[in-house]
Structure 1
């Protein structure tokens, strides 16, 4: 009994010891794996000290049980060969090792059921072990792009276990083989980027009905092949890059792809006539068709999208317009055959009697078509009946299906018709006795078939041998069955369509597949609008960017969780600045890309705040220019509104001019200053070129001029606003704090014109020249207002060296340049608007003072798809029509402003003198 009592007393202790011993290995396992991982890297990551707990290492996060949940070491300059197996880190959710120099095999991550994000792109890995990605049931992002040294590897079949996959990037990663047909396993897949590999074979049927929005399969070494018909059944598709492959056949009807904005199919072997409705798709902005074998009319372009079709195409004319009737008919015939390449290569021009293969003419009329033994598939087109001079039609020894069209029996001059040795079926039309008709080798021909697809008619079957009564009875029975079957199929189709639309709409509303309700830490986005460079990134840029989301000017929705993570929950330490509508935060994406997040203050979200938000979305996602800060995306989170811009790492011009010491910036050189001035002038000039200038607000002051790494400037604070009925600017409060930059006429009329902008630009020039603020209450009254003081100094040019920033210390040639800019500043701030130049004049004055900038390619030009022949209200109405929205602005208010930019008046002085000081 005593022994039993002792045992009972010891049981709790034994149980506790057992529990502790069971728990210990999990901590030890992560400790050992993390220690081994550190030792495998060269050099060891910063902050990964062996004396500190691995949970405190830089870039490592752990849960409450000290299990590692994320490892983030992007862009750390690390190398080495990673552990062959990381599968012991069973709580790992994020692995970010991109943009380093790791080599050897990709680590085995099999069966890490919690793993959601894998970023291994931009490294030097040499192989992908079989099974490395098996059992990743929570995986959402897999990025392996730009691993140029990988041995050839196929897309792993085990990826079909990752049913939550949203993003798969493996461009420039030596992927080979065919695209597996398992994409139906990924209901949430949005982005598939596999450019610059060695994929072959066709597009998989499982693309159909998928949620893929962003599809990059361009530049395969040997080329993907087959047709691109599956695109027509991808309703979520917004961007398709299929260029530089070996796709054949026609461009399908893409009318169901209502979000498609970018279609790149150049440098393939596509044939046939472009669908007439392609360039009228509501969201389409960019199409490249160059270097294919397309036929028919030159594509019409009613919406003025960015459309190219040069090179090896064989359009019938050089400008939009219909082809000749015979050419139109023969192309319709080719269409029934799937537009064979052999026809596309020889059927050129607008005269079928000028060297077209397989066609014989008498005079200008086609009299013979000989398609014998060409291995053509498809059906016999009823359009043959339009060739009324046709005497001989040879279609024998092909793979034709369907029926013989009744219309062929009505050809008035037909003498020979040979359809032998095909797979034709259905009834045979009754041909006149004068027609030599040969049809042997078609075992189904002459038999009733509900599947005939060649447009055959209902004429009696001269060769069937069936009695009329038997034929009629059979027809009634077959017709009844066909009607019943058709009714059932139609009913089922309607039910399935309704269910699909319901599920799709529900998924859309809940954010699945649209990038609005994503897990924390993902930069997955829905692109609804136009991307940069008219929607087309350069191939070099697209492949060197680490396959980031497409932040190229599209209407990109980003989840609040993503923005909270990348800004460290909107940390005070990440504040870049404060404005009239909120605070701007610095953020960093997983790959190191910096962004600026403008978060509206809750008190500012009244009607004006919402109007401002809608205005910026309406225009900034469309307007692109190298000297305007680009809007990358937005977030709507309840009543909260956020805008995501590109980050300009060198801060504002104001910080460089007025806060050099406090900000730790060196003083700007004169070359830097005049370059900045030119950049600003070009940006504002472009805004003015949009014509309806009173609808664009530009708050020009140094704090709204941002600088990049190369010290090139971009104008930040501009957008579109509604004019009040009296024509006044609707955002007077925004300008209340910028009095020193406002032209005198604004105080009396409230009208914002280009001349108001020119005045503000002149003030900025004065600040650049002097290093002084527009208003400085710390100075005596006669010097506090910069414009008044500086214009007085300009009366005598000898005063200029004393008025400028003394840190410039100009030499003679620099002083000449400074004097020209000072003179321009005086012109720009003239009291009367008509005395001020336009921004084009300012650009012309500043350009010779700066090394001339030239675009590296046509894609770098300014308008990025904006049609400068339209006024801004017209462009906005077109954008709204494209996007199905007319809620932001009404046509009556848009029509109240002037539509032209006044040139520099003839009487405007070329030099500055004292009479301009009045």
Structure 2
């Protein structure tokens, strides 16, 4: 432990060479204080390397070093037989030692995603010694080569993440029948290839991410995968007809199929399934409906050949006689010639050829076809030429009419029954050249076959019985470490720890889930910030994200309402998959770590989150009155009463205070974004809270640079942000000014129904402000103000104009805007002010005393522990240069 301490910089909080290591913060020891059993430096802001002496911690059970700046070679954990949990995500390690994971017989979780600086390494086959493995996360970790066929050795493996690596080759056969639930293999540099037929036997699957690879062939029948809810297959080389069972999977909610060459009928998914189909596939129609009979027949033929890409690229549309390669038709549009000779096709000859009743020529020569020649082809009355020469066909030889020129030369097994060719005896149509065995021989063979069959059946029965016993034993063992403890939000929410967390994308999930429809007593919890909620619970409380529970739809996802078992009402924001790439994952996790600590009565509280695959879900407090947008623009449709001016200006003040608070945290690299009425939520008493705030990092020039997503709708963006992407607090002030304009006018920021000179609210409203008399005719007619109220509206209108000034330096600070609005609300307050309204601060206190009291009231004092008094002073809004004198309110809080 001394070696570890000396190799880290700075020293982790609570670690000191003068103190026994068992007393170090986040270090656990056994009861004798002799052996270290756990080390947790998650997000500890440390750099340095890991000494090889870590290998000597013989009783270590868990080590969590994720989200730091560690570098150098990973240590070898060889033969650390007690080690169960390893978390190394989000660091800068550069190499993997040869025996990195050798002999870890108790390993349950290995999570090392996001180490993109690692040198190339392969998944070691000795990992089979870790038979208790439940989670293997190594996305963006420089893995190359094929996925080894070792997964029959992991009877408890549920989560496998190998995304964003350089894997190639096909899926291992040992996936078949495994317990894997979440399979993330997306975005390989070179691309995994081959078919995905093995998925058909992976009945436990819940989420499958295979996008951005080179998989080919048809999509298999996944009807056994009854728990599958998320299937990402876009950007591959899939061909063929979608199995009808795919459209009837009971729990499917999300599927992507774009950028493939799928064929056949256009898929018709249920309404609750979010299906992204795209326009690059080769469906016969661009809407649901049956294909032409000849098209359907030829697609069955293609299926027997494995749906070759050459056919998928050519066989598009719903007319086989229009530009389809290898196909010729008569003047009536009947297929009469199919010439597929010398194409290198593999697979079998489909009996569906018999449905092309006008066919005269069928050329299949010089390919790699196996199996039998379907006897039903002898019924083609117009057939004149049939060539299957130089293939690998076997089985009986059908007898064609003398009028048919039939060439079957070069098939050495034709007339014989061979197992590897798929040939079977008893196929219709024709006899066999090899069926002349005597009756005694036949009986002897039958007896021997029966005996062999009985022996094989007994052996299989014993094997299955032993396997079931082994599985039951392993599941009982797994239950000892799989349970989750509850939290203050009931059993649904828990605080994660190293021993029971299951990471998603570099932890997330980030992006979506580990879910099961079975017993919830062992719900996996995802690591990241403070409070994680399982995807199963979120599905349960939102009725599987039912349409009836939708609260709203935004640019980054849909928000659903739900209620936990203890009565807590929540709003679940289900962010769109793929909105944020790998680069944003670490920022998202850092955001969670901050947001779960930040509390302010004018900010919607983030209660928890879920990261599952590539999906991110945020759980907020529920605001029963909906959004300001609904009350401004949809109040008639929703049956609301129009907002009074008192309510509007009070809402504006509350929003301003929330944003002001966020700006005061700018020293902590935290700032508001995406300010618009749809992100202003209203409580029962119509008090406003701001939602959708996020993390922004410092740029070297002292400004703020947004590294994840663009904020807001174009109409709310300040000119400098719309053109250069730069973010400062003044960008929020601009958006706040736009919101004020909407509050005054009852108009949306962009209204295409209006004439061009009035469609953009900001441009039009600036012209209104030139003459004060114009304002009365431009405000929301539902306000109908008296003289006193009209003066109040004029002051807010003037503030809105200054907030939306073209140059950032001409806009006020948010604190100044709050000071303008405050007196307007005061006139409606009761004579005895509510202590909560004044934040519990005595205005006669000194500024340091007031700040300390305010921090304590808001529950954020920890956020300011490292801020000096001088830094605090800098957050007090000053009147900006260029700000006109008409604003006479005091520049102070």
TM-score, normalised to structure 1, is 0.60
Deviates more, 1:811-820 or 1:160-169: 811-820
Do the aligned residues in 2 keep the contact of 1:525 with 1:557 (CA within 8 Å)?
no
Question: Post-superposition shift, 1:547?
Answer: 5.4
In 1, are the aligned partners of 2:624 and 2:683 still within 8 Å (CA)? Answer: no
Distance 1:374 1:692, change over 3 A: farther
Q: CA deviation at 1:812?
A: 11
Alignment partner of 1:313 is 2:313 = no
> Structure 1 residues 350-359 or 101-110, which shifts more?
350-359
Aligned to 1:224: 192
Aligned pair in 2 of structure 1 residues 133, 626: CA closer, same or farther (>3 Å)?
farther
Of the three residues 399, 403, 408, the one matched with 1:439 is: 408
The corresponding residue for 2:102 is: 134
Q: Displacement of 1:691 after TM fit?
A: 9.9
- 1:196-595 equivalences under 5 Å are 196-363=164-331, 364-448=333-417, 453=422, 458=427, 461=430, 464=433, 516=483, 521-523=498-500, 543=505, 550=512, 591-595=528-532
State the 1:543 CA deviation.
4.8
CA 1:491–1:391: 2 relative to 1, 3 Å: farther
- What's the offset of the Cα at 1:149? 0.8
**How far apart are 1:157 and its partner, in Å?**
2.0
**Equivalences, count:** 642
TM-fit CA distance, 1:447: 3.0
State the alpha-carbon separation in 2 of the partners of residues 140 and 159 from structure 1: 12
State the partner residue of 1:41.
8
Between the aligned partners of 1:265 and 1:175, the Cα distance in structure 2 is 21
Query: Alpha-carbon deviations, 1:844-872, whole Å to 9, x = none?
Result: xxxxxxxxxxxxxxxxxxxxxxxxxxxxx
Report the 3-state secondary structure (helix = DSSP H, G, I; strand = E; otherwise coil) of the residue aligned with 1:247. strand
- Superposed CA deviations along residues 67-102 of structure 1, whole A, max 9, x for unmatched, are 111111111211112203411101111111111111
Give 1:57 deviation, angstroms: 1.1
Task: Output one character per residue of 1:19-73: Cα deviation in whole Å (capped at 9) or x when no partner.
Answer: xxxxxxxxxxxxxxx1111111111112211111111111211112221111111
Residue of structure 1 aligned with 2:543, choices 611, 618, 624? 618
Residue 64 of structure 1 corresponds to which residue in structure 2? 31
Aligned to 1:177: 145
The whole-number CA distance in structure 2 between the counterparts of 1:644 and 1:504 is: 39
Using the TM superposition, give the Cα deviation of residue 422 of structure 1 relative to its aligned residue in structure 2, in angstroms: 1.6
**Partners of 2:521 and 2:295 in 1: how far apart?**
53
Distance change in 2, residues 1:548/1:491 (3 Å): farther
Any conservation in 2 of the 1:557–1:635 contact (CA below 8 Å)? no
Report deviation, 1:444.
2.2
**Residue equivalent to 1:718:** none
Distance 2:341 2:178 in 1: 40
Distance 1:630 1:593 in 2: 22
Instruction: Tell me if the contact between 1:208 and 1:231 (Cα under 8 Å) persists in the aligned partners.
Output: yes
- Aligned CA distance change for structure 1 residues 485 and 285 (closer, same or farther; 3 Å): farther
TM-superposed CA distance for 1:451, in Å, is: 7.4
User: Helix, strand or coil for the counterpart of 1:87?
Assistant: helix
Q: Deviations over 1:564-597 (max 9, x none)?
A: xxxxxxxxxxxxxxxxxxxxxxxxx754454489
CA contact (8 A) 1:248 1:270 kept: yes
- In structure 2, the CA distance between the partners of 1:326 and 1:562, relative to structure 1 (3 Å rule), is closer
Q: 1:799: Cα distance to partner?
A: 10
Within the candidate set 132, 139, 157, 1:164 is matched to 132
Q: Is the 8 A contact 2:89 2:506 kept in 1?
A: no
- The SS at the match of 2:94 is strand
Distance 1:236 1:145, change over 3 A: same
SS at match of 1:343: helix
Residues 216, 365 of structure 1: alpha-carbon distance in 2 compared, 3 angstrom cutoff: same
Cα shift at 1:321: 1.0
User: Structure 2 regions of 5+ residues with no counterpart?
Assistant: 486-495, 574-591, 605-622, 641-649, 663-669, 676-680, 692-783, 797-813, 830-893
Distance between the aligned counterparts of 2:404 and 2:101, measured in 1?
66
Q: Is 1:649 aligned to residue 572 of structure 2?
A: no
Alignment map for 1:703-742 (pairs within 5 Å): none
- 1:348/1:487 Cα in 2 relative to 1: closer, same or farther (>3 Å)? farther
Following superposition, the deviation at residue 443 of structure 1 comes to 2.3
The alpha-carbon distance between structure 1 residues 69 and 51, as it changes in their structure 2 partners (threshold 3 A), is same
Report Cα offsets for 1:104-150 as digits up to 9, x if no partner: 10011111111111111101100001001111111111111111111
Counterpart check, 1:122 vs 2:58: no
State the 1:213 CA deviation. Answer: 0.6
Residue in structure 1 matched with residue 493 of structure 2 by the alignment: none
Structure-2 residue corresponding to 1:81: 49
Please state how far the C-alpha of 1:257 moved relative to its aligned partner. 0.5
CA RMSD of aligned residues (A): 5.3
Contact 2:376 / 2:429 at 8 angstroms: preserved in 1?
A: no
The alignment partner of 2:177 has SS state of coil
**CA distance 1:692–1:193, shift in 2 (3 Å):** farther
Per-residue CA deviation, residues 745-791 of structure 1 (Å, 9 max, x unaligned), is: xxxxxxxxxxxxx99645436999xxxxxxxxxxxxxxxxxxxxxxx
TM-score w.r.t. length of structure 2: 0.61
Work out whether residues 216 and 241 of structure 1, in 8 Å CA contact, stay in contact via their aligned partners in 2: yes
- The answer as to 2:66 corresponding to 1:98 is yes
Partner Cα distance (2:569, 2:513) in 1: 15
SS in 2 for 1:385: helix
Question: Residue 431 of structure 1 aligns to a residue in which SS?
Answer: coil
1:800 CA drift (Å): 9.4
Give me the whole-angstrom Cα distance separating, in 2, the residues matched to 1:87 and 1:631. 48
Residue aligned with 1:618, SS: coil
